Amino acid sequence: AEDLLVEQQLKFCMNILNKLKRNQNAGPFLKPVDAVALGIPDYPEKIKHPMDISTVRKKLETNAYKSPEEFHADMNLMFNNCYTYNAPGSVVHEMGRNLQKVYES
């Protein structure tokens, strides 16, 4: 029964992810950050554990998460990476804040 509960919770996580994907602020978070294409060579130095929506989706689809807490930890990692790398007031920082509000609502 516990497995079923976790399965349902992780389905709910996928629904949250789908909702976020459609959000107007999701752009920078949909795919892994391409430091070369974006011309930000310092990104890999500053962000040791990159995370993005497509990676979270893959982990959900391959049952890599054993609990919703693990999903939540990766989502928080994604947002915290955004705030670590992008200065407050910058466009991407604000998009992260707005997307996190949707995530937490």
pLDDT of residue 3: 87
Mean pLDDT of the chain: 96
CATH of the domain spanning 2-104 = 1.20.920.10
- How far apart are alpha carbons 71 and 75 in whole angstroms? 6
Where in the chain are the domains? 2-104
1, pLDDT greater than 80:
no
What end-to-end distance do the CA atoms of the chain give, in Å?
28
State the Rg of the chain over Cα: 14
Q: Average the pLDDT over 7-17 and give the result.
A: 95
> How many whole angstroms separate alpha carbon 62 and alpha carbon 60?
6
Query: pLDDT over 90 for what percent of the chain?
Result: 93
User: Is the predicted pLDDT of residue 34 greater than 90, yes or no?
Assistant: yes
Give pLDDT tens digits for 61-102: 999 999 999 999 999 999 999 999 999 999 999 999 999 999
What amino acid is encoded at 68 in this protein?
P
In whole angstroms, what is the distance from residue 62 CA to residue 66 CA? 11
The two structure tokens encoding residue 58: 């893959």
Q: Could you give the CA distance from residue 56 to residue 49 in angstroms, rounded to a whole number?
A: 13
Single pTM value for the model: 0.94
Q: Given this model, what pLDDT does residue 26 score?
A: 98
Encoded amino acid at 95, one letter: M
